[in-house]
Structures are given as structure tokens and as C-alpha cells.
Amino acid sequence: MLDGDVAADVADAESAIARLNVAATSLIDTEALARILLRAESVASSKIEGLEVGARRLLRAEAARGLGDAPSDVTALEVLGNIDAMVAAIRSADEGEPMTIALLLDLHRRLLAGTRLEAHGGRLREVQNWIGGSDYNPCSAAFVPAPPELVEHLMVDLVAFSNSDTLPAVAQAAVAHAQFETIHPFVDGNGRTGRALIHLILRRRGLAPRVLPPVSLILATWAKDYVGGLEASRYRGSSKIPAAHTGTNLWIGRFAGACTRAAADATSFEHRAQGIEAGWRDRLDKVRARSATDLLLRALVGAPVVTVNSAADLIGRSFVQTNQAVARLVEAGILHQVTVGRRNRAFEAPDIIDAFTDLERQLGSPAGDTRTSDPVRRVPARRQR
């Protein structure tokens, strides 16, 4: 049962996510934004290398990889691999598709592929784990999950709940995420997998089919409230006791608030991207509709680092037409030529990359405004104005 104020918070969160998915234009199928936010989420939810890999480094490494040139930036390449796994897993869950343990195991296997823990990927743990305290025993741990012999049964129960439609989607995602983190079914990688589960449920329920709000990043920013909410949901005793009801509602309310905030931040980026594109068009004066230049201006929001060949594929125009469009945008100062990989020529739109950086910093600010509330977790450095 949801208290009245919590039910209202859940409804507000679902409305915000739904509006974002209906109204968004720049963010729809914006692969670059999705990947950059997933990079930030992987950093927020795990201790992988790459904490200082900003949007520009990641996009250049990805462009080099697209040219078949192994990026010299090894750290960025590792982060790209982690993002590939997350993207593939999230896209595997379509609206109405049932959740399965096999799906979660495959997601976990992808996330640990290529790491020192690869041998544990896609396997439920067979040992006891714990959070905090000593590395040698759980005596001083902050939290001790279920014994390993109970994990499989608990995961069956979690998947069954995740496939039900008895709760609003946001409330269901909140409960499922809390339960997953309470079970802690893997030796490592539970944070990343548990955050991906949020996206899987929102997609399966049809609430976020096109744009996934960066909920995980807000939860990471509100770390104290996040952990406190999870702890409140773990009441030991009868579920009919008022304290258990209060704890569950506290967690769902905080999760709903994170969803609302995430949708608001994504919407603010959407508006900024639209303003940037409008400014570009003013700078160019006249742009013929459906020309290579027109199509490229629209595409740059989603692909701010391109080569002439990748841009031609992106907009469906010939190499010659695209090359002329790129030259025009370089002359106008919209694109800047850069080198990616060893000696490959590429072009980047710094206005969009700067907007990505500002968005990441905004998501790291508890109040959503870095002018009044500094980021409280690792985010890209303040860019030079």
C-alpha cells in the first residue's frame, strides 16, 4: 500500500518520464547521450577505471574505434566496453517482454567480460558476501546479504515480481531494485546490474520506450538518502507492522523523487540542445531543407564527433555532399577538425560536448544547479568558459 503523498510522488514521476518520452526530439535515439550517461552511470555504480574520462575523450575513442583503429586511450576503451554491455542488455528488454533470470545472468556476464572478475560473470554467487567492514569476515559489515544457498530461490521470486503489473512502474522499479541489492546475488557487479534492472523494468512496462532518464546518477548523487532508503526498506519483522510500511514508503518516495529529478535534467538538456541547433542555423543564415547540411545539423546532437564517412552513413547522403556540408560547418565554426586514433581526421561539435559536460556536472549536484550546489561525486572538471 502506498501512502497518499508517496502515491502522488509516484504519479508525478511517471508523468515526468512519460512527458520526456513524448516531447523529446533531440534526445530520441541520441546514441551519444545514452552512451555518455551510461558511462557516468558505470562510474557512479562501480570502481572501474576511467573516473576521469570525460565526454570528449570517450567520443574521440569511439570515433577511432569506428574507423577500425585501436584507440591509444586504453582507459577510454575499457569504459567503452562496459558501456557496450549495458546498452546491449537494456535493449534486450522490449515492452511486454518477460524478465528472466537468464536475461539478468547474461547482463551480468556482459558487464564483467574482459575484467579480472570475468570468471564470475553470469553466475549466481556460491559464497557469502557483505558490504563494508573487513575484507576477511562480515563481523563489522554494514550489511550482510542472504546466504548463498538462498540466492537462486530469491532471484526466482524477484523475477516473478518484476514480471507482474500490480504496481505502478516506478514503484515496481523501486521495490525490485531494493530487493536486488538486498539479495546481492553476484560476487561483484551488483551495483551496475541492479541499476540496469531499473531501466529494464521501465522499458518492459512501456514507460520509457525511447528515452531512459538517468535515475542511477541522481541516486548516486543523493547517496546518503539512497542508502538510507534502502536500509529503511529492509525492515526485519512482520510486513504488517507500521514500521515496515513506513520504511517501504520512504524508499519508494525517494526513488520517485530521483525519477522526477532525472527527467527534469534530461528535459533541460533537450531544451539546451534545441537552442544550440537553432544558434547554428542562425550562424549559417540559409539552410535548404533536407540538404546534407540540414540533416547533419540535426544529427550532430546525437553524434558530436564524426568523420566524413560516418556522417555520410548517418545522414544517408553521398561522400561528396557530406564533405561539402562538413566544410561549410567547419567554416562557420560549428565543427572543429581533430585527430582521433593514430592519424585519422575527424570533426567535433564542441558546443554539444560542452553541453554534455555541463549535464554531467548538473546531475552530480544535489540541487541540480552547480552555481549554488557543488557536485558531490566524481564528475568532469568545470570546463573553461
181-209 in b/e form (b: 16+ CB < 10 A) is bbbbbbbbbbbbbbbbbbbbbbbbbebbe
pLDDT (0 to 100) of residue 50: 38
Partners of 306 in the β-ladder? 347
The whole-model pTM stands at 0.88
d(CA 267, CA 71): 33
pLDDT (0 to 100) of residue 48: 40
What does each of the 385 residues of the chain score in pLDDT, given as a tens digit? 899 999 999 999 999 999 988 877 666 544 555 656 666 665 554 444 334 566 777 778 878 887 777 666 766 776 777 777 777 767 777 777 889 999 999 889 887 777 777 899 999 999 999 998 998 999 999 999 999 999 999 999 999 999 999 999 999 999 999 999 999 999 988 887 898 899 889 989 999 887 778 898 899 899 999 999 999 999 888 888 999 999 999 999 999 999 999 999 988 888 898 899 999 999 998 999 999 999 999 889 878 889 999 999 989 999 999 999 999 999 999 999 998 876 678 999 999 989 888 888 898 899 999 989 998 887 777 776 6
Closest CA to 228 of 143, 168, 137, 154: 143
Q: What is the CATH number of domain 4-269?
A: 1.10.3290.10
Closest CA to 218 of 385, 56, 17: 17
As a dihedral over the C-alpha atoms of residue 232, residue 234, residue 237, residue 243, rounded to 10 degrees, the angle is 20
Amino acid at 111: L
Helix/strand/coil (H, E, C) string of 112-177? HCCCCCHHHCCCCCCCCCCECCCCCCCCCCCECCCCHHHHHHHHHHHHHHHCCCCCCHHHHHHHHH
Grid cell of 190 as nine digits: 551488483
pLDDT (0 to 100) of residue 28: 53
Partners of 143 in the β-ladder? 131
Amino acid at 70: A
d(CA 204, CA 90): 10
Closest CA to 96 of 192, 169, 194: 169
The DSSP 8-state label assigned to residue 27 in this structure reads: S
The rounded Cα 368 to chain-centroid distance in angstroms is 17
DSSP string, 241-277: SHHHHHHHHHHHHHHHHHHHHHHHHHHHHHHHHHHHH
Helix (H, G, I), strand (E, B) or coil at 340: strand
